[in-house]
């Protein structure tokens, strides 16, 4: 770049010897890798190792082997919590995945109208904290719920407990399953269906022998993701679980209620187990996945089928209506004067919350945290992915062993439940002899933990975007003696800006809604809005809890809207090459 | 594109600098106060205090009694609190035993009734007010389901109340804890646990706080919520259809009390807060929320609370309750927590 600039502007005398530029480039490449590896080590690996260490120590830090495990495993509450956790997670998976599959099937394999609309509605739960669903289901099916009679049809006496937990979790996890299944059903080889048709195969048989097997990797993935989400979910059982104990709530009770960090660490490790197993299974299965599409494939285009399309449309409308109802009910609940006796509308719950319960502060904290998470997260994730995937191995000689280590750590957060990460953070950052101790209780630690918590998906997005760019760019810039970081800034970032914005949005929304990790790390001055929902619920102020949840949905919805518009505008203005390349 | 990005980064950098600068600028004394006061009480108390001492800022660490108690005990060797305010006297007695409090006689101590402060002189803790058991009884739902209003604690074990009652969890809630200790003192150990066995059959949920049971009863989720008078009055004032029931056998209660935490680096400011906590102005604020304040002559009658409220409180042996806190909670947990989810 320097030489190019010099040539363009002969008056410039700033000609840097290329050897120096080269040295700088190597330094930046190596420094970046080391920085990334150190960051992940300090903010992910070490806190997790701390859990392992502390689980084998007593209160005074003396090694006591597996005594803590024995104590917890022998406690009467353990068996109960374990059974409940497994029942909760398995049921949620069995409910969510088929529903999401039906929805994805309707979008990808039928000719129903307004597909974009249904798709967007189905993504709404992502904007809401899972607590919103729990609160809303109390309004809907609680003892004063408008639709209480409906659960009666299924022989359910009370929503508190397993039924409410599964419903609320299904709502929260639906879009996550849907995204995976939409991708799994996106592409299919039409020739298979043509052959089946020629052989006179029935629709049902085609579905069972072509469609389902084609989507099996997506199905496994969706099951594992939903299972892991439910195992580590804490807000839903806390709010609507009644007396049904699960492992995630046990951790909270041990750490917050009893200040018993050792047993908390033990439960954390136990919670890590099913999540890691699920992740492992998924990983093994995905490795066997082969490309379904070859160069000779013909993309499948669904044909019109009136009966199928009407049925699927009815199904999609039903699900969309249900999702909207859940959000709408929480919003309505937040506006009602005295639920359920005086349904006139009021903003009292908002003003009460803002004036007396410190919600204004919490809301600002959350905004603050979400913006920092989004800025830091998108910057670190994207640059990190670039350094990992695009820097030249010969420039980082001796450090290349770091690449697989970083890659592993970048994917690790996906298998680590937020609560477990949170415990690791308390144990590590609250340790009196840790020089980073000053971070404990600060906004910085909330931001860092949240960036790490949601690192994997963002990393994958970034890597995917980067892989779409030909590495010729790096080769060309190398031959032009332009350091790669200039190429990164001048070419890669602008080209990938839509993906970077996607990562930004993902971090923002998740930081607004997350609770599992931050619930251990906030201090009175940094209480985020999602945690304040929990506190309001604990105090019985369900109207204000609903108000705060609604405010979060509205905020993340608006930010998502702005970013989508920006992406659309950017793609139109700067990414025209994508379309010409495709056509 | 680049220019766009640089343009975004600049204001951020400015904001960051401003944030750093504002930290350095604030030179007020900050007191870290651990409390179990209700969120909607804190604001008035803080404003009252700041009217007199505008240069002392309070950072509240608030949670329910059980959580704050365990938190303080866990932080014993590395304390973060300067003052503990509005926490149950039974918990304060535990801290006193552990040597965690600095005894201090706030100005005007003699006005505090002797049963509402630590008996030593100077006392390790001083009371603010009494908070006591109250049942929130939803009249609308009761009429619908034909459920009679209870008069006694023992009434609550009748089958007609099955699945209709919620109460606070004694490990997390101070209200829940004084309910349990009151029953044990009223009926004696064996009888008391037997009563709770019967009550457990009717309890729909054990809740995190002392407030939530009343809020749940007030919104008709359940018919009866075992709670305390402040929350009951607040809910009723909002137009919710509840009656306050004060069971005849006697009401469990505790004191909201304050003390200075050992290790504070702001002793002078902490003493000022303690001084303020027993002034007439402070008592007037407490009296709006509770029927009995620690200077009895300053108590004001509360709507819905009977005039003879003081004589309805059980005889509460704080020393016994605090000494046996762990034991009682362990027994409670063994009996009622390990059971499977309620029907």
Answer whether A494 sits within 8 Å of B338, measured CB to CB: no
Q: What is the 3-state secondary structure (H, E, C) of A547-567?
A: HHHHHHHHHHHHHHHHHHHHH
For residue A181, what pLDDT is reported? Answer: 96
Shortest distance, CA B114 to any CA of chain A (angstroms): 32
Q: Pick from B19, B68, B165, B219 the residue to mutate for testing the A interface (most A CBs within 10 Å).
A: B219
- In three-state secondary structure terms, A345 is strand
Q: Is A432 on the interface with B (CB under 8 A)?
A: yes
pLDDT at A68 over 60: yes
Burial of A171 by CB count in 10 Å (0-12 exposed, 13-18 middle, 19+ buried)?
buried
Shortest distance, CA B302 to any CA of chain A (angstroms): 22
CA distances to A176, A218, A275, A278 from A225, rounded to whole Å, are: 8, 10, 9, 8
Shortest distance, CA A119 to any CA of chain B (angstroms): 31
d(CA A399, CA A391): 12
Residue with tokens 């700033």: A14
How many other β-carbons are positioned within 10 Å of the β-carbon of residue A246? 29
* Residue B83 phi, psi (nearest 5): -135, 145
- CATH class as words, domain A85-246+274-293+306-333: mainly alpha
The pLDDT tens digits for A116-134 are 999 999 999 999 999 999 9
A223 torsion bin: left (phi>0), alpha (psi -120 to 50), beta (else)? alpha
Q: Is A158 on the interface with B (CB under 8 A)?
A: yes
C-alpha A128 chain-centroid distance: 12
From the list A242, A342, A537, the residue facing B239 with the nearest CB is A342
d(CA B166, CA B212): 9
Answer whether A258 sits within 8 Å of B70, measured CB to CB: yes
Give the CATH number of domain B28-130+255-307: 3.40.190.10
Q: Which residue of A has its CA nearest to B241?
A: A341
Answer whether B205 sits within 8 Å of A243, measured CB to CB: yes
The pLDDT tens digits for B147-156 are 999 999 999 9
User: Complex ipTM above 0.90?
Assistant: no
Read off the pLDDT band of A582 (50, 70, 90).
very low
For residue B231, what pLDDT is reported? Answer: 95
For residue A579, what pLDDT is reported? Answer: 57
How much is the average pLDDT of B290-309? Answer: 93
Beta carbons of A526 and A393 less than 8 angstroms apart: no
The pLDDT tens digits for B177-212 are 999 999 999 999 999 999 999 999 999 999 999 999
Q: Which residue of A has its CA nearest to B138?
A: A341
Dihedral sign for Cα B116, B276, B69, A364, please: positive
The residue among A417, A374, A382 whose CA lies nearest residue A555 is: A374
pLDDT at A290 over 80: no
Read off the pLDDT band of A441 (50, 70, 90).
confident
For residue A550, what pLDDT is reported? Answer: 96
Mean pLDDT over all residues of chain A? 89
Read off the pLDDT band of A18 (50, 70, 90).
low
pLDDT at A4 over 80: no
pLDDT at A10 over 60: no
Q: Is B1 on the interface with A (CB under 8 A)?
A: yes
For residue A7, what pLDDT is reported? Answer: 47
For residue B37, what pLDDT is reported? Answer: 95
Name the CATH topology of B131-252+322-336. Answer: D-Maltodextrin-Binding Protein; domain 2 (3.40.190)
How much is the average pLDDT of A231-240? Answer: 94
A2 vs A61, residue with greater confidence: A61
What is the pTM assigned to this prediction?
A: 0.89
For residue A53, what pLDDT is reported? Answer: 93
How much is the average pLDDT of A211-225? Answer: 91
Answer whether A257 sits within 8 Å of B66, measured CB to CB: yes
The pLDDT tens digits for A333-385 are 999 999 999 999 999 899 887 777 778 899 999 999 999 999 999 999 999 99
For residue A578, what pLDDT is reported? Answer: 64
Read off the pLDDT band of A451 (50, 70, 90).
very high
- In three-state secondary structure terms, B220 is coil
d(CA A156, CA A116): 35
For residue A138, what pLDDT is reported? Answer: 96
Q: Is the N-terminal amide bond of A340 cis, ω within 30° of 0? A: yes
Return the percentage of chain B with pLDDT > 70, whole number: 90
For residue A8, what pLDDT is reported? Answer: 46
The pLDDT tens digits for A291-323 are 666 777 888 888 888 999 999 999 999 999 999
The pLDDT tens digits for B303-328 are 999 999 999 999 999 999 999 999 99
d(CA B34, CA B83): 6
For residue A25, what pLDDT is reported? Answer: 86
pLDDT at B7 over 70: no
Domains of chain B, residue spans: 28-130+255-307, 131-252+322-336
Answer whether B240 sits within 8 Å of A338, measured CB to CB: yes
pLDDT at A16 over 70: no
How much is the average pLDDT of A511-519? Answer: 93
Contact partners, residue A424, CB within 8 Å, separation at least 6: A47, A48, A50, A51, A268
Q: Which residue of A has its CA nearest to B47?
A: A356
d(CA A36, CA B84): 43
Q: Which residue of B has its CA nearest to A142?
A: B221
Which residues from A are below 8 Å from B59, CB to CB? 524-525
């Amino acid at each position: 770049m320097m030489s190019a600039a010099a040539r363009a502007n002969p008056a410039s005398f700033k000609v840097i010897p290329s050897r120096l530029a080269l040295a700088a480039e190597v330094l930046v490449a190596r420094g970046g890798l080391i920085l990334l590896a150190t960051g992940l080590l300090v903010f992910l690996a070490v806190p997790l190792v701390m859990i392992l260490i502390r689980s084998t120590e007593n209160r005074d830090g003396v090694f006591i082997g597996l005594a803590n495990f024995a104590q917890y495993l022998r406690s009467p509450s353990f068996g109960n919590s374990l059974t409940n956790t497994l029942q909760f997670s398995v049921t949620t998976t069995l409910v969510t995945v088929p529903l999401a599959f039906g929805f994805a099937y309707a979008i990808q394999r039928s000719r129903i109208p307004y597909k974009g609309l249904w798709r967007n509605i189905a993504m709404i739960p992502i904007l809401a904290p899972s607590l919103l669903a729990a609160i809303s289901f109390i309004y809907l099916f609680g003892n004063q719920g408008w639709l209480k009679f409906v659960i009666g049809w299924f022989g359910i006496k009370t929503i508190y407990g397993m039924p409410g937990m599964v419903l609320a979790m299904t709502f929260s996890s639906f879009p996550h399953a849907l995204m995976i299944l939409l991708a799994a059903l996106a592409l299919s080889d039409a020739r298979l269906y043509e052959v089946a048709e020629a052989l006179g195969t029935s629709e049902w048989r085609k579905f069972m022998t072509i469609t389902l097997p084609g989507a099996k990797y997506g199905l496994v993935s969706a099951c594992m993701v939903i299972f892991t989400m439910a195992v580590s979910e804490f807000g839903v059982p806390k709010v609507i679980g009644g007396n049904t104990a699960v492992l995630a709530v046990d951790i909270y009770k041990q750490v917050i209620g009893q200040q018993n960090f050792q047993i908390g660490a033990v439960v954390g490790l136990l919670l890590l187990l099913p999540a890691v197993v699920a992740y492992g299974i998924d990983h093994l299965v995905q490795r066997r996945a082969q490309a379904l599409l070859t160069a000779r494939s013909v993309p499948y285009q669904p044909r019109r089928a009136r009966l199928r399309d009407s049925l699927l449309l009815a199904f999609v409308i039903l699900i969309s209506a249900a999702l909207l109802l859940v959000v709408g009910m929480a919003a309505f609940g937040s506006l009602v004067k005295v639920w359920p006796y005086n349904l006139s509308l009021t903003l009292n719950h908002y003003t009460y919350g803002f004036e007396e319960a410190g919600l204004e502060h919490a809301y600002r904290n959350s905004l603050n945290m979400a913006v920092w998470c989004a800025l830091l997260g998108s910057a670190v994730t994207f640059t990190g992915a670039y350094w990992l995937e695009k820097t030249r191995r010969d420039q980082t000689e001796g450090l290349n062993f770091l690449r697989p280590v970083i890659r592993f750590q970048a994917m690790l957060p996906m298998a680590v439940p937020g609560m477990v990460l949170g415990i690791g953070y308390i144990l590590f950052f609250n340790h009196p002899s840790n020089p980073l101790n000053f971070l404990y209780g600060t906004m910085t630690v909330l931001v860092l933990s949240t960036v790490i918590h949601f690192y994997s998906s963002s990393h994958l997005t970034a890597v995917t975007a980067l892989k779409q760019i030909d590495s010729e760019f790096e080769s060309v810039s190398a031959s032009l003696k332009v350091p790669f970081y200039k190429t990164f800034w001048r070419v890669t970032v602008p080209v990938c800006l839509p993906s970077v914005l996607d990562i930004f949005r993902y971090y923002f929304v998740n930081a607004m809604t997350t609770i599992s990790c931050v619930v251990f790390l906030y201090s009175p001055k940094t209480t985020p809005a999602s945690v304040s929902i929990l506190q309001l619920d604990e105090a019985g102020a369900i109207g204000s809890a609903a108000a705060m949840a609604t405010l979060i949905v509205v905020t993340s919805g608006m930010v998502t809207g702005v970013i989508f518009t920006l992406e659309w505008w950017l793609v139109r203005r700067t990414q025209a090459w994508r379309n010409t390349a495709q056509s | 594109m680049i220019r766009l990005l640089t343009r975004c980064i600049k204001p951020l950098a400015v904001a960051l600098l401003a944030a750093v600068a504002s930290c350095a600028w604030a030179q007020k004394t900050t007191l870290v106060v651990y409390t179990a006061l209700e969120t909607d009480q804190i604001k008035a108390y803080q404003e009252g205090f700041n009217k007199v001492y505008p240069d002392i800022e309070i950072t509240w660490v608030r949670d329910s009694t059980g959580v704050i108690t365990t938190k303080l005990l866990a932080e014993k060797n590395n304390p973060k609190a300067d003052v503990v305010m509005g926490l149950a006297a039974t918990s304060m007695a535990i801290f006193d035993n552990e040597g965690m409090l600095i005894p201090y006689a706030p100005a005007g101590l003699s006005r505090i009734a002797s049963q509402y402060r630590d008996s030593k002189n100077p006392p390790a803790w001083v009371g603010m007010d009494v908070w006591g058991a109250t049942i929130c009884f939803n009249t609308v739902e009761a009429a619908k389901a034909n459920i009679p209003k209870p008069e006694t604690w023992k009434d609550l074990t009748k089958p007609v109340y099955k699945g209709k009652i919620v109460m606070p969890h004694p490990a997390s809630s101070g209200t829940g804890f004084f309910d349990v200790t009151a029953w044990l003192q009223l009926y004696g150990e064996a009888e008391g646990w037997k009563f709770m066995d019967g009550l457990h059959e009717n309890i729909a949920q054990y809740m995190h706080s002392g407030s939530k049971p009343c809020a749940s009863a007030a919104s008709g989720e359940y018919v009866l919520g075992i709670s305390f008078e402040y929350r009951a009055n607040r809910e009723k004032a909002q137009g919710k259809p509840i009656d306050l029931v004060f069971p005849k056998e006697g009401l469990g209660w505790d004191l909201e009390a304050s003390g200075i935490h050992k290790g504070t680096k702001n002793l002078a400011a902490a003493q000022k807060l303690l001084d303020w906590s027993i002034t007439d102005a402070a008592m007037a604020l407490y009296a709006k929320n509770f029927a009995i304040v620690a200077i009895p002559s300053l108590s004001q009658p509360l709507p819905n609370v009977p005039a003879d409220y003081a004589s309805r409180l059980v005889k509460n042996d704080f020393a016994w309750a605090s000494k046996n806190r762990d034991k009682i909670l362990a027994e409670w947990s063994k009996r009622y927590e390990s059971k499977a989810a309620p029907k």
